[in-house]
Structure formats: C-alpha cells, structure tokens
Amino acid sequence: MADTPLHLGQTSSLPASPAAAVLDYVPNPRPDTLYLVRFAAPEFTSLCPVTGQPDFAHLVIDYAPGATIVESKSLKLFLGSFRNHAGFHEDVTVGIGQRLCGEMQPKWLRIGGYWYPRGGIPIDVFWQSGLPPEGLWVPDQGVSSYRGRG
C-alpha cells in the first residue's frame, strides 16, 4: 500500500493490461467493524482468447475489509484494462478475485462473473476466499441467470 494513492485525485490513463494496472489501497476507515463492500461492473468486457471477439459480463465483487479498502478509481482502471486482455471467463473472473484478495488481504471476498452467452451458452463463474465471517450480512448478488429474450 502506497502512502499516497496513485490514482485518487490524479489524471490516470487506462492501463495497457491487467498486469500493468496498479491497484491502490487505503486504510479501512472502520477497521474494528465487520461490514460488506460491493462493487458492481455491469458492462465489463474482455476478449475471447480464441476468436479475439469481445466478451461481456456483469461482475459483482463483495468483500469484508481487513486493514485496507480498494480505492474505487484504481479498481475501475484495473477492470477497464481487461478490454484488450484475452482470457477465458473462468480465468478472468477468478484472477480478478485472487488478485484483489492477495493484495488487499480482506477478511473475506467473493466475485460473481455473470457472462453473456458465447456460442449460445451463458457462463457464470463464482469464486470466494473461504467461508464468510460469522455475523457478516451477505446479501444475494441480485443478478439473475441469463434468460434471453423470454
């Protein structure tokens, strides 16, 4: 964790790749309180590693902060860096969750990747760091399974 966030209050460009993206973490303002933070990215995009065509997903990231929280602008830039990244749905979804968990060290984290159909089959990918802490309110992610136009 840097002493001063790299992106907050600064002009920042979209990183060229997820590996080049720098996530900023700031001190948790309520370190002694168990609570849940949710980020939703309903227009997430990455590229199919086979065809190079865009893939679209609705991502929902829930976490219970430990000592730090992720700064939202840096998270937005990190997620945007996937626009030119080729990866299977499973790798992209789990990779985002594992990177956040590894760097931020939350008490608990889960990610739901609700991907729109590829080849006629929607793919939903879920990962979590373990069981949620006792007493943590964990609401449903609120994203319905893909139904098409029916």
Q: In 46-60, which positions are buried (b, 16+ CB within 10 angstroms) versus exposed (e)?
A: bbeeeeeeebebbbb
User: Tell me, what DSSP letter sits at residue 62?
Assistant: E
Residues designated catalytic: 48, 55
- If one counts every other C-beta atom within 10 angstroms of the C-beta of residue 7, the result is 20
The residue count for the chain: 150
Angle at 28 between CA 138 and CA 1, to 5 degrees: 120
